[in-house]
Amino acid sequence: MNSFLSERAKNTGRSAIREILKYTQEPEVISFAGGLPKPDTFPREGLAESAARQIRDNYQNSLQYGTTEGIEEFRQEMATWLSEFGLDLELDNIIATNSSQQAIDLVCKAFLDPGDLVFCGLPTYLGAVQAFSTFQAEKVGVPLEKDGMNMEILEKKIQESKSAGKKAKFIYVIPDFQNPAGVTLSKQKRRKIFDLAEEHDLLIIEDTPYFGVRFSGDFKKPIGTYDVSGRVITITSLSKILSSGMRLAVVAGPSELLANLVTMKQSTDLCTSTTTQLIAADWLKNNSLSEHLKELRKYYKENRDAMIEEMKRSFPEDERISWTEPNGGLFIWVTLPENVDAELVFEKGLERKVAFVPGHHFYVNDGGQNTMRLSYSLLTPERIREGINRLGEVLENVLSPVSQ
């Protein structure tokens, strides 16, 4: 039946991480592999109340189809929240989508023809890479530094693509606590990326799902706040802060660009669930998201602290080993000595009942063989310490001359 497949489908692989996760399901395995948030951090009591109220009393709207743009109350609540961070949004500058992943899909659908160029980080979010592949785009990777993409390389790659006569469409960037690397784009680089997009007439797709999960460091304004010419699309999601299961995200940006996403969304799924939009809007109206986030951040911060403390204690003393210390989000990125293959560490780790994702999966080229992504989101500090301890032993073994 493969004769029916589109070129697009032939170009799309299944997520390698999902395959890895299958190996890490055994209860004895301490897994830092997944990237799921902790459902205990979501306000289940309040959401249950909002759900019962909206379904029972507002059924004319919550059980009915809605507009493709999304329910006004929900978009308004989200616009109000985003205004705290400098995004000044009218109602036609914000639409609801069925998750950030759908927002990325719609962006690709609206803007990418086969062969078009997309610039993204090295490493970067795998779900975005999959979408770029599905829409047969050419992915151009730009190495990350501690404060985000290397700007010289980005500029050089843009110029090269121009010289080669290629059609470059957008820069995809995860500015805050990037998945997988945990790094945050500096204020200077936010400005610089916008200036480069202006100079070379590119769109910017700013994807910031961990925005609300900041527990230290200075707040940095979204790139969307620099947008004077209508070229920045900012995607943010409730999946890490209110509920992943409700599949709610919003896309903020210039109305002209959003109109194209709405047209694409009509034939994609008509509208985002009005049930979940109205549950979220009801909760946001009756509760303080800021107060809620204080608790949630405390949870993740404790876990991050436990992981970093234990890494300092248990990882081999070797200056060629380094890791990021994120101010938010769910991930720490470890760089091993260049000659160490993280796939080997992964194999040895499974024997020792500890798991992570080898970092090369997040690369759009052949890089990252000596890197690992560790998530601290789902475990208790005790389990995190135990797992890092095991991983430290594995690293000692792999690095020791005897095993080489």
Q: Rule CB under 8 A: which of 223-252 touch its own copies?
A: 230-231, 239, 243-247
Binder among 15, 76, 150, 397 for its own copies (CB under 8 A): 15
Q: Give whichever of 3 and 163 is closer to its own copies, judged by the CB atom.
A: 3
Strand partners, 137: none
SS3 content of the chain, % helix, strand, coil (to 5): 50, 15, 35
Q: How many C-beta atoms lie closer than 10 Å to residue 162's C-beta?
A: 14
**Minimum gap (Å) between residue 113 Cβ and its own copies:** 5
If you write DSSP's letter for every residue of 103-143 in order, what string do you get?
HHHHHHHHH--TT-EEEEEES--HHHHHHHHHTTPEEEEEE
Is 122:144 a contact under the CB 8 Å cutoff? yes
Binder among 30, 82, 251, 271 for its own copies (CB under 8 A): 271
When asked if residue 98 is in the footprint of its own copies (CB under 8 A), the reply is yes
Binder among 186, 263, 369, 397 for its own copies (CB under 8 A): 263
Q: Which one of 76-84, 86-94, 98-106, 217-225 is the stretch in contact with its own copies (CB under 8 A)?
A: 98-106
Q: Give whichever of 76 and 260 is closer to its own copies, judged by the CB atom.
A: 260
CA dist 130 and 180 (Å) reads: 15
**Minimum gap (Å) between residue 260 Cβ and its own copies:** 6
Q: Which one of 11-19, 304-312, 327-335, 380-388 is the stretch in contact with its own copies (CB under 8 A)?
A: 11-19
CA dist 279 and 310 (Å) reads: 40
Q: Give whichever of 33 and 345 is closer to its own copies, judged by the CB atom.
A: 33
Q: Give whichever of 68 and 371 is closer to its own copies, judged by the CB atom.
A: 68
**Minimum gap (Å) between residue 311 Cβ and its own copies:** 27
CA dist 393 and 386 (Å) reads: 11
**Minimum gap (Å) between residue 374 Cβ and its own copies:** 19
Q: Which one of 73-81, 271-279, 313-321, 368-376 is the stretch in contact with its own copies (CB under 8 A)?
A: 271-279
When asked if residue 91 is in the footprint of its own copies (CB under 8 A), the reply is no
Q: Which of residues 40-69 bind its own copies (CB under 8 A)?
A: 40, 42, 44-45, 47-49, 51-53, 55-56, 59-66, 68
Backbone angles phi, psi at 72, to 5 degrees: -55, -45
Q: How many of the chain's residues bind its own copies (CB under 8 A)?
A: 85
When asked if residue 111 is in the footprint of its own copies (CB under 8 A), the reply is yes
If you write DSSP's letter for every residue of 315-349 in order, what string do you get?
S---TT-EE---SBSSEEEEE--TT--HHHHHHHH
Q: Which one of 88-96, 104-112, 117-125, 214-222 is the stretch in contact with its own copies (CB under 8 A)?
A: 104-112
Q: Any idea which residue has 């047209």 for tokens?
A: 263
Binder among 184, 236, 273, 327 for its own copies (CB under 8 A): 273
**Minimum gap (Å) between residue 154 Cβ and its own copies:** 19
Q: How many C-beta atoms lie closer than 10 Å to residue 312's C-beta?
A: 11
Judging by beta carbons within 10 Å of its beta carbon (0-12, 13-18, 19+), is residue 313 exposed, middle or buried?
Answer: exposed
Q: How many C-beta atoms lie closer than 10 Å to residue 19's C-beta?
A: 11
Q: What angle do CA 251, 9, 262 make, to 5 degrees?
A: 25
Q: Which of residues 117-156 bind its own copies (CB under 8 A)?
A: 127, 130-131, 133-135
Q: Give whichever of 282 and 310 is closer to its own copies, judged by the CB atom.
A: 282
When asked if residue 169 is in the footprint of its own copies (CB under 8 A), the reply is yes
**Tokens of residue 155, six digits:** 């500029």
When asked if residue 180 is in the footprint of its own copies (CB under 8 A), the reply is no
Q: Give whichever of 40 and 366 is closer to its own copies, judged by the CB atom.
A: 40
Binder among 20, 74, 94, 105 for its own copies (CB under 8 A): 105
**Minimum gap (Å) between residue 379 Cβ and its own copies:** 15
Contacts of 343 (CB under 8 A, 6+ apart): 358, 360, 369
Is 194:173 a contact under the CB 8 Å cutoff? no
